[in-house]
Structure 1
Amino acid sequence: MPKLTEDTQWKVTEVLEPTPKPFFMNEERGIRLYQGDALAMLRQSRSENFDLIFADPPYFLSNGGITCQNGQMVSVNKGRWDEAPSLEDIHSFNTDWLRECYRLLKSNGTIWVSGTAHNIYSVGFAMQTLGYKILNDIAWFKINPPPNLACRYFTHATETILWARKGEKAKHHFNYDEMKRDNRGKQMQSLWSITPPAPREKRFGKHPTQKPEALLDRIIRASSNAGDLVLDPFCGSGTTGVISARLRRRFVGFDIDENYLDLAVKRIEDELSESQSTLNWAGETG
C-alpha cells in the first residue's frame, strides 16, 4: 500500500464550473461523487485537471436479447442508458465525451476505456481522430464467461480496454517495474486473465456492468501514483473510487443514477473505514 507523506495534497480543488453540490464528499481523502449526465458534467469540468481517466461507457447492448446469468436465462437489457440508438448516434456520443476527456487530461495523463464489439471500434476510431495515441489494446479474458445460449456464435469471453495518451509526443506515466514484479519478473503482456467480480464485491448491491476490483487495481497502479487525481465519468457502483481509495489516489466520479451512486457511497465508505483501520493497526504495531 502506498505510504502517505507530509507533502501529499489530498484536497480536490473545484473541478466543475459552476460548482454543483457533491452527492458525496470525503475532503480528507479527496474523494467526490456528483450526480448528473456524464457529458454535461464533463463539459463543466476544468481543463488539464486529471492524471488518469477510466471510463466504462454504455456498450449499447440492451437490444431485447437474452443471456445466461448464474445458470438462468435473463434479459440483456440493463436500462435506458444502454439502449442502442443509431450507429451514427453512438459514434457521435463517443466522440463528444472523448473530446471532453482529452481536454481534461493533464499533458502526461492517460485514459483507459473498456468495451466490446458493440462500441469499442467506435471508441478507438474516435480516439484516433481526436488526436489520442493508443498505447495498448488490452484483452481482458474472463476466465468463466456465461455460455452462449443461441449456439450460433463463439462464447464471448473477452472485453477490450484501450489505453491512450494525449498525442504522439506526450510523455505518459507507466509504472513498468511494478507491473513486471506483478508478472514474476517478466514484462506484462496485454492479455489479462481476471475473474469477474467476487460475491464480496457485490455485498452492498449489484450493478449490471460492474468491473472486478482486480482489473481497476491493475489499471490504477500501472498508470498513476499516490495522490494523483482519477476521474470516472460513468462510475456506476463505484469500483474505480473504491480502488482509488485503497491505493491512496484522489477520485472524482459522475453518474446519473441515484441508486448506483448510493451503492458507490456504501462501497467507498466501507473501503475508507477498512483503510483507516489498517493504518491505525500499522501505527500501533510499527
Structure 2
Amino acid sequence: MRGKGRVGIAKDGDATVRLGAASITRGDSLKACDAWLPPACIISDGPYGLGKYPGEPVSPDGLAEFYAPHAAAWARRAEPFTTLWFWNSEIGWAKSHPALELHGWQYEETVVWDKGIAHIAGNVNSRTIRGLPVVTELAVRYTRRATLQTEGGQELSLKEWVRAEWLRSGLPMNQSNAACGVANAATRKYLTQDHVWYFPPGSALVAMARWCTQRGRPTSRPYFSLDGKTAPAAEAWDRMRAKWTHVHALTNVWREPPVHGSERVKALHGTGYLHANQKPLALMERQILAATDAGDVVWEPFGGLCSATVAAVRHGRKAHAAELNPEFFEAAVVRVRHEIETLPLTRTA
C-alpha cells in the first residue's frame, strides 16, 4: 500500500497526488505553494528562455519578469535557513539574478555542471560553428536573506544586528571575548564590520546576551532577542543560518554525464525520451544532502519529471512539487511512486 497515491482536487481544479511524504500537483506552483510545508531547500529547474512549451519566455530577456513572482512567493514561505538552488544557462541566470536578489535571495556561489565532451561529440560542424560548443549548465546557490529588528525598529542584516545589539549595551567591544570565553575571536569575528564576519554559534550569542544583561545598560528589551520579547535560545539562533554539509574534495565544478540508460525516462505514449533536459539524480542528491537534514522539506516548483522529489524521498526528506505539463506530471507520479515502493520501510516512515 505504500505506493498508492491519494488524489485531491485543489480549489483551482488542479490535481494533487500524495505519495508518502511527497505531493505532486498538476498545475502552477504559484497557486499550489501556499498549501505546502515551508521548505528547507528549493530546487528550481524552470524555464531557460527557449520557448519550448506554452508560457515559457521565448528568449532569456523575459526571464526576470517570469521568475519575479516565483521568487517573491518562495521568499514569503521560506524559513531563514532556506537554500535555493537555481538551475539555468549562463545567460539565463544572468538575466534572472536581479529578480531573485530583489525578492530577498542572497547569492552564495555558482556551481558549473560539466556534462563532458561526449555531450557534443559528433554533433559539431566545425565549418559553420561560430563559438565554443556548450557542455555546461549552472546551478546557482542562494540563501534566504535574513534580517532582524533593532530596538528602534530598524531592519538589519544578521551581521549588522549582532554588532548593534552589543553596542547598545554600552560595554567595551573587547569584553565580548570574555563573554564568549575566547582570546579575541568574538571581537574579531562575531562583531566585526568588515567582510571577514563569522556567524556566531548559538552558544556564543547566548553568552553575549547574558553578559550584556548582567553588566550592560538596563533595558526592557532583552539583549540579542530574536522577537524583542524573550531571551535568545541557542537553537533558535542557529536556525537563522542556512544549513550546509561540507563534502571534502568537492568543488564548484560538478562533472557528470547527461542522463542515459535506465535512469532516462522514456515517453509514456510513443517512443524516445520524454524530457529533453532530464537532470541526473546524482546532482539532485548532492544539492539536497548539502542543504537539508533528514525530515526536512524540499520544494520542486517546476517539477518536470520530479528528479529532485525522487532524490528527496530517497533520502528521507518530505517533498512538494508542481508540474503544468500533463504528460510530465503523469510520468513523475509513476516515477516517485516506484521510488517509494522500492525504498526500505525505514525510509518511508
How big is each residue's C-alpha offset from its partner over 1:201-238, in whole Å with a ceiling of 9 and x where there is no partner?
Answer: 12443212211111101001111011111110000011
**Size of the alignment, in residue pairs?**
237
User: Is 1:172–2:242 an aligned residue pair?
Assistant: yes
Quote the offset at 1:123 in angstroms. 2.1
- Residues 198 and 257 (structure 1), Cα distance of their counterparts in 2 relative to 1, 3 Å cut: same
Quote the offset at 1:39 in angstroms. 3.0
Contact 1:84/1:90 (CA < 8 Å) preserved in 2? Answer: no
Match of 2:88 among 106, 109, 115: 115
Contact 1:57/1:115 (CA < 8 Å) preserved in 2? Answer: yes
CA separation in 1, counterparts of 2:38 and 2:12? 15
- Counterpart of 2:245, as a letter, is N
Q: Which runs of 4+ in 1 moved over 4 A?
A: 16-22, 277-280
Structure exhibiting the larger radius of gyration computed from Cα positions: 2
User: Is 1:271–2:329 an aligned residue pair?
Assistant: no
Contact 1:204/1:266 (CA < 8 Å) preserved in 2? Answer: no
How big is each residue's C-alpha offset from its partner over 1:7-46, in whole Å with a ceiling of 9 and x where there is no partner?
Answer: xxxxxxxxx99697753112xx31101111233334x446
- Residues 86 and 145 (structure 1), Cα distance of their counterparts in 2 relative to 1, 3 Å cut: closer
Quote the offset at 1:104 in angstroms. 1.7
User: Is 1:160–2:138 an aligned residue pair?
Assistant: yes
| Structure 2 residue aligned with 1:209 | 277
- Counterpart of 1:101, as a letter, is W
How big is each residue's C-alpha offset from its partner over 1:115-155, in whole Å with a ceiling of 9 and x where there is no partner?
Answer: 00341112222222223211111111112322445411101
Contact 1:174/1:222 (CA < 8 Å) preserved in 2? Answer: yes
Identity %: 20
Length-normalised TM-score, structure 1: 0.75
| Structure 2 residue aligned with 1:4 | none
| Structure 1 residue aligned with 2:28 | 37
Provide structure 1 residue ranges, at least 5 long, that are not aligned to the other structure. Answer: 1-15, 63-77, 181-185, 281-286
| Structure 2 residue aligned with 1:25 | 18
Quote the offset at 1:83 in angstroms. 4.6
- Residues 279 and 35 (structure 1), Cα distance of their counterparts in 2 relative to 1, 3 Å cut: closer
- Counterpart of 2:31, as a letter, is A
- Counterpart of 1:196, as a letter, is P
| Structure 2 residue aligned with 1:8 | none
Contact 2:57/2:63 (CA < 8 Å) preserved in 1? Answer: no
SS at match of 1:50: coil
How big is each residue's C-alpha offset from its partner over 1:61-114, in whole Å with a ceiling of 9 and x where there is no partner?
Answer: 24xxxxxxxxxxxxxxx3234451682x43211112111111121111111010
Quote the offset at 1:195 in angstroms. 1.3
- Counterpart of 1:264, as a letter, is A
Contact 2:63/2:96 (CA < 8 Å) preserved in 1? Answer: no
- Counterpart of 1:173, as a letter, is K
- Counterpart of 2:334, as a letter, is K
CA RMSD of aligned residues (A): 2.6
CA separation in 2, counterparts of 1:131 and 1:160? 20
Match of 1:261 among 305, 329, 332: 329
CA separation in 2, counterparts of 1:108 and 1:20? 32
